[in-house]
Chain A
Amino acid sequence: GQQVMQIPQYQHVQEGEDFTTYCNSSTTLSNIQWYKQRPGGHPVFLIQLVKSGEVKKQKRLTFQFGEAKKNSSLHITATQTTDVGTYFCAGSGLDTGNQFYFGTGTSLTVIP
């Protein structure tokens, strides 16, 4: 069945350092979405990637979709305390019945 894994599971960084989380799928994805969940909150949509090799930027956040459409990454430059939370990728494809399946998430802690 569909497997969407994320690494690392936890990451602690000093404020100002960069952060990257990786999302890997066992099968080819049609789309991938990224969400952020603040502690005690609910997931909030960040972005969707559709094309092979696509790169999108939102201020300090850079999102990439792999050429084979089986992996994706989220990179945050110069982290701030407001970046704290858990980042989830969610992939969908023919193998998932076009339903989005969420990755295991990466919990980011930013140390001031």
Chain B
Amino acid sequence: KAGVTQTPRYLIKTRGQQVTLSCSPISGHRSVSWYQQTPGQGLQFLFEYFSETQRNKGNFPGRFSGRQFSNSRSEMNVSTLELGDSALYLCASSLWHKLNTEAFFGQGTRLTVV
């Protein structure tokens, strides 16, 4: 069974640009969550999607948005990039959006904003 796939693996963008990251969950998984990981802040929850609907949202500005498609693939978009957005962006897929489910993480997309 293929794992969670995130593309691209690495990305360099300029301040003010926008970026779209992609996540393909494990086949059959319907829940996708996104996290931002930085050395100083750890793993910060961005949002979770289940059945094409955003179920939960973390405390990030509106520049961070996402969506989920009918095949459960998810994208997140960051507009008007800032230097502080440089981070490892991880997505995690779960079978279900309820509590008792293990999350499987992708390798992440490392975004550098210059």
| Chain A residues near B (Cβ < 8 Å) | 1, 30-31, 33, 35, 41-45, 48, 50, 88, 90, 92, 97-105
Contacts and interface: CB of A to CB of B under 8 A. Distances in A.
By CB atoms of chain B within 10 A, which of A1, A88, A98, A105 has the most?
Answer: A98
B43 A102 contact: yes
B43 A44 contact: no
Contacts, number: 54
Interface in B58-114: 58-59, 90, 92, 98-100, 102-108
A98 B99 contact: yes
A82 B104 CA distance: 21
Chain B contact residues, majority secondary structure: strand
B37 to A, nearest CB: 9
Contacts of A98: 56, 98-99
